[in-house]
Amino acid sequence: MNLPVSFPVDPILAKLTRSMPSGDYLYEPKWDGFRCIVFRDGDEVVLQSRNGKELQVYFPELDAPLREVLPARCVVDGELVVPSEGGIAFDAISQRIHPAESRIRVLSEKTPARFIAFDLLAVGDEDLTGLAMVDRRARLEDLCDWRLPIHLTPATTDPAVAQDWFDRFEGAGLDGVIAKPADGTYRPGKRALAKIKHERTADVVVAGFRWHKASTDDDRQVGSLLLGLFDDDERLHHIGVASSFSVARRRELAEEVAALGAPGDGEHPWQAWMDTEESPRGGNRWNATKDMSFELVPLQVAEIAYEQLDGDRLRHSGRFKHWRVDRDPDTCTYDQVEVAPPAELRDALAL
C-alpha cells in the first residue's frame, strides 16, 4: 500500500467539555461506534481501529461497498456503526470482534455495519492533513457519490443546529456533538477537538468489585465496582461498572470495600454467579484471557455519573461520585433512571 498518509495513523482526538463552544467551529454528531480510518489503494482496503489494529476481517460486508464508493487512492477517517430499529446498536457492533470467522459471517448478514466518514486525510498523491478543517470538509463532500452503506456525516457551522442535534438525536444512540476548530489541521494523537457528551447521575447498587491488574497482596487496589439496579420483580440486574480511578482512589476503595466485610451466606443476589465463577455478564469479548473474576460485598448505594442507559445496562462505564449511606439498596430501581427520548436514525443520518 503506497499512500501519502501511511498506515497506521494516530487518530486526532477530542477533549471533553460540558458546554457547546461558540466561535469558528465545524460541528458534527458524535457517533457511538468504532473509530475507523479507511486506507484504500486500488483493490486493497485496510480498516484501522483507534489503537492501530486492522478491522477489515471483522467487517467483510464493507469491503465491496468501500471499493465501489471511494476513489481508488484515499485515506478517510470515520466511524463504524450498526444501525437498528431503535438507533445505533453499540452492543451489536462490539459483538463483531469475534475470533470465529463463521460467527463474523453470520453477524455481517444479520447486523451489517455502515461506515460514516467525517474527515479526509489523503486523496491520490495529496496529503491533506495540513489543510484547515473546513477545507478538508469541502474536499470530503466532493470526494465521491455518497450512498449506502457509506455515509457522509452531517456537519454545520451553526451552534444552534449543533445544540438541536445534541438534544434530539440522543435517543438514536448518538453520543453527543464534536466541535472542530474550522482552521484546525489534522493533528494525529492530539486532543485538538472538543466533545460535548450527555451526562446524568443516578443512585445505583454496588454489589461487588474487581481487583485492578496492578493490585498485589501488599498493595491492594480496586479496578472497578460492579453496579446494579432492581427491576419491578426485585431482581438485581448487573448494569455495568464504575472504573477509571486514580491510583490513590483505587487504594482508598480497597480499604473501603475491606471495611464492608463479606456478605452472609445466602444473602447476596449474585451468589450464584460467584459459585459458578462467572461474571454477571460473562467474559470479556475483547480479551478472552482477561481475568473477569470478582468479589462480592454487602449491597451498598453509590451515586454515579453516566451518559446513557442502553436497554438495561450502561452504554459506557459509569463514573463513581460518592457513597450514599442515606439510601437503601432496594430503592435503586430502573424507574429512577432517565432514558433518552427516541429519535429517528434516519434523521440523524440525514437520509
Neighbours of 3 (CB within 10 A): 20
Q: Which of 30, 53, 110, 213 is catalytic?
A: 30
Count, in order, helices (H) and strands (E) of the chain: 8, 19
Distance of CA 19 to the CA centre of its chain: 20
CA distances from 22 to 157, 170, 187 (A): 9, 21, 21
Which residues are within 8 A (CB) of 310 and not within 5 positions of it... i.e. 6 or more apart? 90, 91, 173
Length of the chain: 351
Cell output for 257 = 470495600
Peptide bond into 71 cis (omega under 30): no
3-state secondary structure (DSSP) of residue 101: helix
Rounded CA gap, 294 and 345, in Å?
A: 37
User: What's the 3-state SS for 183-208?
Assistant: CCCCCCCCEEEEEEECCEEEEEEEEE
Q: Please confirm, yes or no, whether 30 is among the known catalytic residues.
A: yes
Contact 309, 322 (CB under 8 A): no
Active site residues: 30
